[in-house]
Structure formats: structure tokens, C-alpha cells
Amino acid sequence: MNILLIHPDFRRNIEIRDYWEGFNPPSLVVNYLASILKQYNHRVVVLDSLFQFFRTGFKREVDLSDGLEDMIKEEKIEVVGMSVTSPSRLIALNLASVIKRVNPQIKIIWGGPHPTLVGERILEYEPLIDFLILGEGEDNLPDLVNALEERDFKRLEKIGGLAFRRNGEIIRTHDNLSIQDLDIYPFTVYDQYIKFAPQKSLTTVSITTVRGCPFYCNYCGSKVIYKSKSRMRSIENVIQEIKYLAEEHKIKRILFNDETFSFPLDRAKALLRALSGENIHLELECQTRFDVVDNEFLKCFKQAGGRSIFFGMESGSERIRELMGKISYINNKVVEISQLVKKHGIRLGIHTMFGYPTETPEDIRKTEEILEKVKPHEITAHITHVHPGTKVYKNSEYTIEDWLKRDRDFFPYETSARKLRELRRICNYFEQRFTSKRTERSGFLRDFGSAIEVVY
């Protein structure tokens, strides 16, 4: 079948410099799923913000709906899959309305964190969406597409983690089992980018080595998304993929998309040592927590090409961090590890969050104090949003109906307009003060609560 896989992205400005500096890599998940579908002989096109930037001749303002109608007609698209996060769901709906306007016969499948967390009720509200894949998509996406191609609709009930409509009724099949062997899937192929990419090469790509995170922070939905404990790819399999990416795509930089790259520590060190043993010279970036890093890990990371590490500190107030569920985090550890990171010549990045329940000006002052002390190279500053599946969500006044309706894309924990204005000002202040250079991460998404009009 002719399939289009979309990573619905916020409209934003991209510059060619962002691409060269690796701030705008291709979306991992849709390219990875595309590689799997191609094994079943389907024709797959991927649409994400980098590809859109390339195919529209490096037009600065990237809007995925630009030229989408023509693309669907030219590529004779029959099925569209979208990877949907909760905040990107309205953009995904907008794109779905363009697609159905061109050809109402095209089947639209939603997968990713949002459908996984919110579930089959999305189909009650969204007539444009034909199928939901809840949970991991490696096996059931090809199963679904193959069943659609063969018009074998009876088979749908047997596919795990699927929701669809039949005779006006919503059917939800049995749960999908968590994938245990992540090594059996193909490496992610980026061919379609190369023909448009400047100098025909990609600068930066992402990979994951672990699925799931063993921690349970109260504002994060990871545990609910992945359910079972972390599952890891073998070190050999990860090294082979990195070698393939370096040799085939001549990439300069690898971003590890793992939520907590250095956990478990011994495995992360073994992976980095194995990478150092190969004759490939890449820059590496990862993200992790301050309490799962030690001197030896940092040494291995640097030796393997480590350029920068982002740590989820969130707040400088130990009281707030405890409320967040980051109980083993103490400020002494933050300072100790930050100093070590810099001593190893690795760029220090810190994620911060403002507007967490009960946060006071005194807590914010503590965040400023610790950042002054550790002097990171860059930070990101976010307003606390309430996402489905998190403990903060359970304790908030928001309900699943809020996420099913279309009136807003984000739900900040603080709701008063005055407080939100103040939080936005605080985020801007912190980013300007503690980031030496604007980065993709920090500039990624600054706004909240701005309803996007869904046109039918």
C-alpha cells in the first residue's frame, strides 16, 4: 500500500543553521515505523518538520499542511499513520481534515502517547480518525495495514492494541503484549531525506537503546505508556546501528532519545566502551538524571564522543523535587555531578519546570541559586502542564473529557491568566539568563493554551 507517516509538528521557524547544528533531526518514531513497513513491501513516505523544511526549499516557516494535498495526490496515498502526543493532537486533527478533504477513502491511523494514554474514547469524538493503535506499534501497524490491503476486516479483532468502529460501535481489541526483543526490528532508514539534504547528508539522527524508564515522576506519563519494566536493545545491536548510520549516512551526531540514558549505569558504560572501541568519530548527546551518573560514566561518555548531557533537574527546591517524586535528588548531588560534567569537557544542559503545584517564589529563587552555582551551558524552562496518565493529572481538576474536547491544546496546572503571564515571564528570564545560545530544545515550544482551529 502507499502509506504516509506523519509526525504532527507545531508550526515553527527553522533555519539552515539549526539543521547543521543538529537541532532539527528527523523524527525517530515515524522513520523507524516506516523502515518496518517497508519490510512488508509497502511504499512509505514520511512527513516531519525536517522533511518539510527540505522539500519546501528551506522555507523558514515550517507548516506541515503546506503542500499536503498535492503530496497525497502525487504519492497516491491510501493510508496515513500519525504519531500523536497530547499537545500535538489538534495539529494532527487539522492535518486529518486536509487529508479526508482530498480523499475521504484514505484510512487514518493514530498511534503514540496520546491514544495510548487516552484510549478508544477518542473515536467517540473524532470521526476523521479510523483506527487507534494503543501501545507499541512495531507488530500491529503492519498487521493492520496488511489486513486493510487484503480487505480482510474479520482479522482486525485478532490484532492486539487496536480500536476501530464497526456498524457505529467502537471495538477495542485485547491489549498488546509489550515487546521483549527489540533487536529483531530493522535499523531506521533515512533515504528520502538524503535526496533533498544539503550536501546529500544528514547531520544528526536519533536512536533509542532502552524502552521505558524505571522511575516514576509525578508529572510524567512514561510508566503508563510503557507499562512493563525497561527493556533494552543488546549492545551489539545498538553498535551495529550506529556504525550503519555513520557509514551509510555520514552523520556527525547521535542523539540518544532514551529517557534515562545512563540507567542502568553498568550497561550504559559497557555500551559507551564498546562504541569507543569502534573507529567511528561521532558526537553524542543524551539525557538522564543526576542520581544515575558517576565519574566513570562521564569518562566513558566523553571518550566515546560525548558532547552534551541534559539533566532533568526541574527545580532547585528539594521540597518541590520531593513532591515531584524525585526523592533521591539532593542539591549537593546536582552540584557535584554538574561540576564533574564540566570537568570532563561535556556541555551541561538542565531541564527546569515552573508552576508545579504549591511552588512559591522562594522555591523559584532556589532554582535560580543552584543554576547560578552550577552555571549550565544551556537550560530549558517549561511551564508545568498536566498530561493524561500522570499523578499530577489525577490530582488536578482536569478530566479525560478535557483532553477529548478540542478547545485547547495544553492544560497548564496554574490556570489564572495573571499567574500564567508571570510563569511565561519567568521561563523567558531563566532561558535568557542561563542559556548561552538558543537551542532547538529551548526554542521548541514556548506557548500554551492556544486553541488551534480544526476545520471540517
Residues that bind ligand B12 (CB under 6 A): 8-9, 25, 27-29, 32-33, 81-83, 85-88, 109, 111-114, 116-117, 133, 136-138, 141, 206, 208, 220-222, 225, 257, 259, 387-388, 444-445
Pairing of β 2-6 and β 43-47? parallel
Residue 260 contacts which entry, ligand B12, ligand SF4, none (Cβ below 5-8 A, type-dependent): ligand SF4
Integer Cα distance of 364 and 345 in angstroms:
28
Considering CB distances under 5 to 8 angstroms, the limit depending on partner class, which of ligand SF4, ligand B12, none binds residue 312?
A: ligand SF4
215 binds, among ligand SF4, ligand B12, none (CB under 5 to 8 A by kind): ligand SF4
Task: Considering only the stretches 81-89, 182-190, 213-221, 236-244, report the one whose residues sit in contact with ligand SF4 under the rule CB under 6 A.
Answer: 213-221
Choice between 18 and 314, CB closer to ligand SF4 = 314
What three-state secondary structure class fits 329?
coil
Q: Which does residue 225 touch among ligand SF4, ligand B12, none (CB within 5 to 8 A, set by kind)? A: ligand B12
CB 280 within 8 A of CB 272: no
Q: Residue 275: which residues within 8 A CB-CB, separation 6 or more? A: 239, 242, 284, 304, 305
Which span (53-61, 88-96, 208-216, 385-393) binds ligand SF4, by CB under 6 A?
208-216
Q: State the nearest-atom distance from the C-beta of 175 to ligand SF4, in Å.
A: 22
Amino acid, single-letter form, for residue 235: I
Q: Residues touching ligand SF4: how many (CB under 6 A)? A: 10
- Is residue 220 a contact point for ligand SF4 (CB under 6 A)? yes
> What secondary structure letter does DSSP report for 174?
P
Using the minimum distance from each CB to ligand SF4, give the nearer residue, 176 or 262: 262
Percent helix, strand, coil in the chain, to 5, is 40, 15, 40
Segment lying near ligand SF4 (by CB under 6 A), choices 166-174, 214-222, 242-250, 397-405: 214-222
Rounded CA-CA distance 256/353 in Å is: 22
Strands (E), 130-275: 131-133, 162-166, 169-172, 204-207, 210-211, 231-232, 253-256
Strand partners, 162: 133
Which of ligand SF4, ligand B12, none is residue 113 near (CB under 5 to 8 Å by kind)? ligand B12
- Alpha helix (H) residue ranges in 217-264: 222-226, 235-249
**Judged by CB under 6 A, which of 136, 258, 259, 285 binds ligand SF4?**
259
Find, among 154, 166, 162, 208, the residue nearest to 185 by Cα.
208
At position 404, the amino acid (one-letter code) is L
28: partner contacted, choices ligand B12, ligand SF4, none (Cβ within 5-8 A by kind): ligand B12
Of residues 266-305, those binding ligand SF4 (CB under 6 A): 289
Q: Which does 85 bind (CB under 5 to 8 A by kind): ligand B12, ligand SF4, none?
A: ligand B12
| Residue choice 23, 190, 215, 413 for contact with ligand SF4 (CB under 6 A) | 215
Among 195-203, 210-218, 236-244, 438-446, which window interacts with ligand SF4 (CB under 6 A)?
210-218
Q: Which of 130, 126, 127, 125 is nearest to 144 (CA)?
A: 130
**Strand pairing report for 43-47 and 253-256:** unpaired
The residues near 247 (Cβ < 8 Å, ≥ 6 apart) are: none
Q: Looking at 83, 86, 94, 222, which residue binds ligand SF4 (CB under 6 A)?
A: 222
Q: What is the CA angle 353-419-442, rounded to 5? A: 35
Residues that bind ligand SF4 in the complex, under the rule CB under 6 A: 213, 215-217, 220, 222, 259-260, 289, 312
